[in-house]
Amino acid sequence: MALLVVLAMVATACSDDGGGTETTDEATTTTSSAPDEPDAPDDPDTPDEPDAPIEPITDDDPFDSFRGVTADMITIGVTTADLDELRDLGLVDINNGDVPLIWDTLVDYYNANGGIAGRQIEVIVEEYNPVFNASADDACIVLTQDNEVFIVFGGVAGPAIDSILCFVEQNAHAMIGGTHTPAHYPKREAPWAAIAMSAERRHRGTLALYQELGLLDGNVATYDDSSEHGAITEDVVLPALADLGVDIVQSFTSDIPQGDEVALQAQAEIFAEVIDDENIDTLIIIQSQLAFGIAHMREAGYEGTIVAIDTGEIVLTVGAFDERDPATYEDTYAPMGASRDESWALPASQACYDILRDAEGVDVRHPDEVPDGEANWAGGLLGPCQYLEILKAAGDIAGGDLNYDTLLQGLELVGDIELPGVAFGSYGPDKHDANDALRIGQFDSTVGESGSLVPVTDLQAVD
């Protein structure tokens, strides 16, 4: 089971940066709702005027304003998972295309269209193995100390996620990418913009949607199957439930180390007895991708409603990583984002793919239409296009005096932003995570070969 968990985390780390909640199964693409089209203007002959560009904060001509920034150049570091090494280790077999070609093509395109804050772009790409913190730390040192880049794109994901602090805390470098979590985000010493919805916003938004569905009626209990996430329960989930007027009958937290399946199951059986005595109607499972608390509670005999807070990606594809019968997860609810079809169809996504199509003649296809053994160029393009578009939006507002203070001010002035793969996105004051799109899905073990989440709400923007 421990190996299956690692495989799940690595696969997530190597996927495109669609915001952390993108759905991938065929069931979601046929039943989910695409974002609504904007309302037509009252007079079709006089269309709405586009928003005027935001004036730069500073009107200085570009100059050597900060580390990694000169009068005519901005140097960017890029972290990317070493897919060849992961393939050699037998962990994943993912082909997202020619990474240097993708970056060279995008940089050429952005440089030909004004660069960022009046400066041309250069990138330094550093691969790392997301399984090992030492590998991620090495990439951090190369980019932040050996090269002193202005900002890092990509971040760190997978089992090595704690190494993100090497970038944003220990070396105080700005970042675009990664996910804001309570364990990492408060420790940042530099601006950090994420595409993925922050853990706190996702938890609160998910609970609000569960309440709208009536899934939090009756007797409710929480179960955190990893003691590492007690702070999330105490600082985020329980206050959010209180704000919604939901009373918690019991709150359980496991103290069993991950990987000890026998002990975890035995403890779940003890919890299940208490849950049965208290007549719990709904069990809220608070967990990351490190554990399978849903299965533990089902196998312990709990037959009530289970709603998960932070397990959308795992529940979506659980059949690929868990040897249990998919029916174990039947009727579990979990958060979801835009489907592959929805993400693919976004104008911002197609504009991103067209850059490589036009410049190199590459056949960028829908991920589901890529033949076995060929590259999923769309998966390789999505994150780089997102990072560059965010930096251009915030950097151009910052203006000639580009530094971390003006970058942060620029980011908070961006407002609504169209990003590849993100159905609804925005930045604003104290909101530094772009993705606002969320829906709820219900696991159906009869979908596909191993079951999947099926949407039960429309995709919507959450606060």
**Shared-domain flag, residues 238 and 302:** yes
**Shared-domain flag, residues 388 and 310:** no
Burial 77-98 (b: 16+ CB within 10 A, else e): bbbbbbbebbeeeebbebbbbb
Q: What CATH number is given to the structural domain containing 400?
A: 3.40.50.2300
β-sheet bridge partners, residue 153: 78, 176
Of 302, 274, 288, which Cα lies nearest the Cα of 226? Answer: 288
**N- to C-terminal Cα separation, the chain:** 36
Is 78 within the bounds of a domain? yes
**Shared-domain flag, residues 303 and 259:** yes
Is 30 within the bounds of a domain? no
**Regarding beta strands 282-286 and 120-128, do their DSSP bridges make them parallel or antiparallel, or are they unpaired?**
unpaired
State how far the Cα of 454 lies from the Cα of 444, in Å rounded to an integer. Answer: 7
Is 37 within the bounds of a domain? no
Is 35 within the bounds of a domain? no
Is 101 within the bounds of a domain? yes
**Shared-domain flag, residues 122 and 165:** yes
Of 283, 327, 340, 323, which Cα lies nearest the Cα of 306? Answer: 283
- Give the distance, in angstroms, between the CA of residue 354 and the centroid of all CA atoms in the same chain: 24
Whole domain around residue 373: which residue ranges?
73-198+340-427
In a structure prediction context, what are the per-residue pLDDT tens digits for the chain, which is 463 residues long? 444 444 444 555 555 555 544 444 444 333 333 334 434 334 444 445 556 678 889 888 999 999 999 999 999 999 999 988 988 888 888 899 999 999 999 999 999 999 999 999 999 999 999 999 999 999 999 999 999 899 999 999 888 999 999 999 999 999 999 989 888 999 999 999 999 999 889 999 999 999 999 999 999 999 886 555 557 788 889 999 999 999 999 988 887 776 677 888 888 899 999 999 999 999 998 865 444 678 888 889 999 999 988 755 556 556 556 677 888 888 889 999 998 899 999 999 999 999 999 999 999 999 999 999 899 999 999 999 999 999 999 999 999 999 999 999 999 999 999 999 999 999 999 999 999 999 999 989 888 878 888 999 999 999 8
**Shared-domain flag, residues 82 and 162:** yes
Is 14 within the bounds of a domain? no
Is 43 within the bounds of a domain? no
**Shared-domain flag, residues 334 and 374:** no
User: Domain tally for the chain?
Assistant: 2
**Shared-domain flag, residues 186 and 283:** no
pTM, whole model, 2 decimals? 0.86
**Residue for token pair 């999923």:** 376
Is 49 within the bounds of a domain? no
**Shared-domain flag, residues 445 and 312:** yes
**Shared-domain flag, residues 189 and 246:** no
Q: Identify the sign of the CA torsion 294, 297, 298, 304.
A: negative
**Shared-domain flag, residues 327 and 447:** yes
**Shared-domain flag, residues 161 and 233:** no
**Shared-domain flag, residues 241 and 335:** yes
